[in-house]
Amino acid sequence: MESKFNWTNYNLKRNKEAIKINNFNIKSKINYLEKGVYKNVRDIYALALLLSGSHKKRVDVLDYGGNLMSHVNLINKINTKKIYFTIFNPFLPKEIKNKINLKMKNIRNLKMLPKKKFDLIYFGSVLQYIENFKLINEKVISNSKFILITHTPITFDKKSYIAKQSNEKKLFQKIYTLEHIKKILLKNNFQLVFKSINDFKFAGLKIKKNGTHSLNLLFSKN
């Protein structure tokens, strides 16, 4: 499922937007109000961070495939002082050079991933662009306590499928079945503990098959 989409330019654009939101939050007493599905998604992420870090002096988070936008609007929502963010994204700049008020670093190669357990691994609208979720599971997921997947098109049908993205001609999404995701995570003793739905118009699919929804899923290790 190769794509000619320019992820580097996309992430640079999103990072510029993130810096504006960050600057707003520094000056304001309340968080920036994002549009569309993000209002709901960011709150779920914030609550998952609180859950994964309860009674801990330090919280380690891996954002798989994300960028700064997932994190800057946490400011003014929760206390982020004890949270350490690692972003894995091969299309981000080598260093995050900005004035983001968060403890954060980015890596561009999974071989550079710190050999430690993460309290939370976050897949924010990323899973549909990964061709082999099982491979990631073997390398990364087994060392986590919680896994959060947000605003991701997932089907309740029996078969995964590939669909064209509506707003990008060069971009495709792989729509995994919910059972496939649950089966992979169950092998590492993860159970689904939370599930919610988003407005599907923000999923960006050109054609929606029956049983496909934009979902938020939280898994907890037994």
- Annotation: CATH topology of 7-93+101-109+116-221: Rossmann fold (3.40.50)
Task: Quickly count: other Cβ atoms within 10 Å of residue 123's Cβ.
Answer: 25
Q: Where are the alpha helices (DSSP H) in 28-163?
A: 38-52, 133-139
pLDDT at 95: 60
**Alpha-carbon gap, residue 188 to 145, rounded angstroms:** 10
Arithmetic mean of pLDDT, 78-98: 83
Tens of pLDDT, residues 153-180 = 999 999 999 999 887 878 899 999 999 9
Label each residue of 177-211 as H, E or C.
Answer: EHHHHHHHHHCCCEEEEEEEEECHHHCCECCCCCC
Would you kindly state where each structural domain of the chain is located, as residue ranges?
A: 7-93+101-109+116-221
pLDDT at 137: 61
**Alpha-carbon gap, residue 10 to 72, rounded angstroms:** 17
Please report how many Cα atoms fall inside a 13 Å half-sphere around the Cα of residue 67, on the Cβ side: 22
This prediction's pTM: 0.93
The DSSP secondary structure of 82-120, one letter per residue, reads TEEEEEE-TTS-SS--S--SSEEEEESSGGGS-SS-EEE
pLDDT at 4: 74
pLDDT at 166: 85
Torsions phi, psi of 98, nearest 5?
-160, -175
Tens of pLDDT, residues 90-105 = 888 766 655 688 898 8
Cross-strand pairs, 198 = 214
pLDDT at 97: 52
Please choose, from the candidates 85, 55, 60, 45, the residue with its C-alpha nearest in 3D space to the C-alpha of residue 145. Answer: 60
Percent of all residues in the chain with a pLDDT value above 70, rounded to a whole number: 94
Task: Quickly count: other Cβ atoms within 10 Å of residue 131's Cβ.
Answer: 11
**Alpha-carbon gap, residue 40 to 38, rounded angstroms:** 5
**Integer Rg of the chain from CA:** 17
Position with higher pLDDT, 15 vs 77: 77
Q: Is the pLDDT of residue 210 over 90?
A: no
